Amino acid sequence: MVRLSLLASLLSLCVAVSARPVSVHVTLPSAAGAALSRFAFFGPLGQQLELQAYIDEDEQSSAASAKTVVIAVHGHDRDAWNTFSQAKKARDQAIKAGAPGPIAIVAPMFLNGDDKGMYEGSNGKNGSDRLLVWKGDGWGQGLPAQFPADKAGQGPDGAAGPGVSSFDALDRLGSHYADTNLFPKLTNVIYLGHSMGGQLIQRYSIVGGGPSARTGLSVSYVVANPSTYLWLDDKRPGVQSPDQNKYKYGLDGMREALAIYEPAQHDAAELWTRYATRTVHYLHGDADNGKGDGRAAAMAQGKNRKQRAHNWHAFIASRGTPAGHTEDWVPGVGHDGGGMFASTAGQKQIFGV
Tell me if 25 is assigned to some domain: yes
| Confidence category of residue 115, pLDDT binned at 50, 70, 90 | confident
Domain count, the chain: 1
Looking up residue 257, the CATH number of its domain turns out to be 3.40.50.1820
The pTM of this model reads: 0.92
Tell me if 48 is assigned to some domain: yes
Tell me if 1 is assigned to some domain: no
Residue 16: the pLDDT is: 34
Domain that holds residue 181: 6-351
CB 57 within 8 A of CB 32: no
pLDDT tens-digit readout, 70-112: 999 999 999 999 999 999 999 999 999 999 999 999 999 999 9
The alpha carbon of residue 116 and the mean position of all alpha carbons in its chain are separated, in whole angstroms, by: 22
The alpha carbon of residue 229 and the mean position of all alpha carbons in its chain are separated, in whole angstroms, by: 14
Q: Maximum distance among all alpha carbons in the chain?
A: 54
CA distance 75 to 198: 8
pLDDT tens-digit readout, 317-349: 999 999 999 999 999 999 999 999 999 999 999
Residue 118: the pLDDT is: 66
Q: Give kind and range of the element (H or E) at residue 330.
A: strand 325-330
Tell me if 73 is assigned to some domain: yes
Among 237, 245, 230, 231, smallest CA distance to 297 is for 245
